[in-house]
Every structure is written in C-alpha cells, then in structure tokens.
Amino acid sequence: MSECIILAGGFGTRLRSVVSDVPKPMAPIGNRPFLELLMDYLIRFNYNHIVLSTGYMHEKIADHFGSTYRGASISYAVEHTPLGTGGGMRNALSQCSDEDITVLNGDTLFRIDYDDLRHFYHTHPTRLAVVLRQVEDTARYGSVTTDCSDRISHFAEKEDSHGFGTINGGIYMLNRSLLEEQPSDTAFSFEKDIMQKKYQQEPFFAYTSGAYFIDIGVPDDYHRLVAEQAKESYPPKTTF
C-alpha cells in the first residue's frame, strides 16, 4: 500500500475574507474543491490510501469525499482540539500501516514527481526528506539551506530571509518512528519541534524541485489559481 497524509485541519484565517463557509482545503477552484486537485495528482502516482488530518469544519470534508475517491481509500484523523502540524501528523499515524509515509500540506499545490521523491528518500540514509522549492523571495516563508550532499544545514525564519533561495515546500517523506517519538494527543509543530531541533543531530535531506508551486493560503494566490484553472486543466510547470 502507498499511503499519504494530507494536513487539512487548519483554520485558514488569512483566506477567511474570500472563503468562509468551508475549510481552506475545500476552497472552490471553479466547481471543484481544492482538495480534489491534490488528490487527483496523488492518485496519478499510485497513492491508494489517503489519510485526511482534519479539524475545523471536518464534517464538510467527510461529507464530500466519504470513504473512497477515484479508487483510493480515504481515512480520517480528526483533531477535536488543535494539535499543530506535528500533532496532526502524529494523530494521523493511527490510520496508517506503512513504515514510510508521504505527508503534504492541504493548502499547497506542488506538482513534484512523487516517484522521484520516493527514490531519493530510499537512496539516502535518513528518516526525513523535505521537498524544497526555489523562489524569487523567501521572505514570506523563511528559507532552508543545504550542503553539497543535499543534507539540510540551516533553517532561517521569515524575518531573517529575503531574496532568491529555497523554501520548505510542505511535502515530506518520513519514517513513522520520527513522529512516534513524540507523545500522542499533544500539540506540537513538526517544523520547529522536529525539523529545526533535530537536523543537527541526525541527517535530514532535501529534495529540491522546480515544479509548479502555489500556496492558496492568501487571497491573491487563491485568485491566481482560480484564474489559471479556468484557462487550462493543469497549470504550466514553472522552473527557475
């Protein structure tokens, strides 16, 4: 079985001015929810079990998708209190059986080659591969630096980042033990409490892609994706 977790439990505060009646991953793109675009792409790479980590308005997601979507089985891990990115991943493990699992943000469309990511992960001595994206200005996201072997060597916060660089693209492939070291039902940040605390203690590697990338967390980018989808079925691949 090829499993993935989609983090779909956020409140979507920054997008609330334009999308307020559904959770952010269900934001309408034309006549379809954003989450369908993500799942369509995952299914192309043979992910056949998708775990949705949900919270805010979780009923609207479950009512739409049910237990299957285009042949893939759907499971739900509901946060009844906010658990953060790390707590949400840890909670979703209860629905997974694989040792190595792909995790992605439910508000970001990043059209990487998942087959290539799997190969990268399995050929590096690591429990975590982080997918990075090159951008013209890292100030909105913070930046990630790697050494010549693709090992992560530094994280910079938003206030310390600017100009061209690489950012965390919100996709991970990881061994479940990395999360199981944390207590269950506890809120924590995957980025701060695992990645930034442990990258100097053990090797975490970065898979860098120039594939199409958009984060619909802010209204301008949400409207841009709506406009692009109105013009063509899939947005063009963008590289630097």
CB 114 within 8 A of CB 45: yes
CB 69 within 8 A of CB 45: no
Would you place residue 31 in the very low, low, confident or very high pLDDT band (cuts 50, 70, 90)?
confident
Joined together, the tokens standing for residue 20 give 């307020």
Question: What global pTM score does this model have?
Answer: 0.92
pLDDT of residue 176: 97
> What would the mean pLDDT of 13-37 be, rounded to a whole number?
82
Residues above pLDDT 70, as percent of the chain: 91
Strand partners, 74: 50
Half-sphere exposure of 115 (CA within 13 A, CB side): 4
Pairing of strands 100-105, 3-8: parallel
pLDDT of residue 19: 67
- C-alpha span between 180 and 99 (Å, rounded): 11
pLDDT above 90: residue 130: yes
**Is 222 strand, coil or helix?**
helix
Max distance between CA atoms of the chain, in angstroms, equals: 47
Would you place residue 38 in the very low, low, confident or very high pLDDT band (cuts 50, 70, 90)?
very high
pLDDT above 70: residue 64: yes
Q: Which range is least confidently modeled, 24-28, 65-69, 83-87?
A: 24-28
Cβ partners under 8 Å of residue 60, min gap 6: 22, 23, 26
- C-alpha span between 10 and 215 (Å, rounded): 14
- C-alpha span between 43 and 61 (Å, rounded): 18
Joined together, the tokens standing for residue 201 give 């203690």
pLDDT of residue 240: 41
Strand partners, 88: none
- C-alpha span between 216 and 46 (Å, rounded): 25
What is the signed CA dihedral for 52, 55, 57, 62, rounded to 10 degrees? 30
Would you place residue 239 in the very low, low, confident or very high pLDDT band (cuts 50, 70, 90)?
very low
> What would the mean pLDDT of 54-66 be, rounded to a whole number?
93
Q: What is the pLDDT of residues 144-199, one digit of tens each?
A: 999 999 999 999 988 778 889 999 999 999 999 999 999 988 999 999 999 999 99
Domains of the chain: 3-231 (3.90.550.10)
pLDDT above 70: residue 2: yes
- C-alpha span between 124 and 153 (Å, rounded): 16
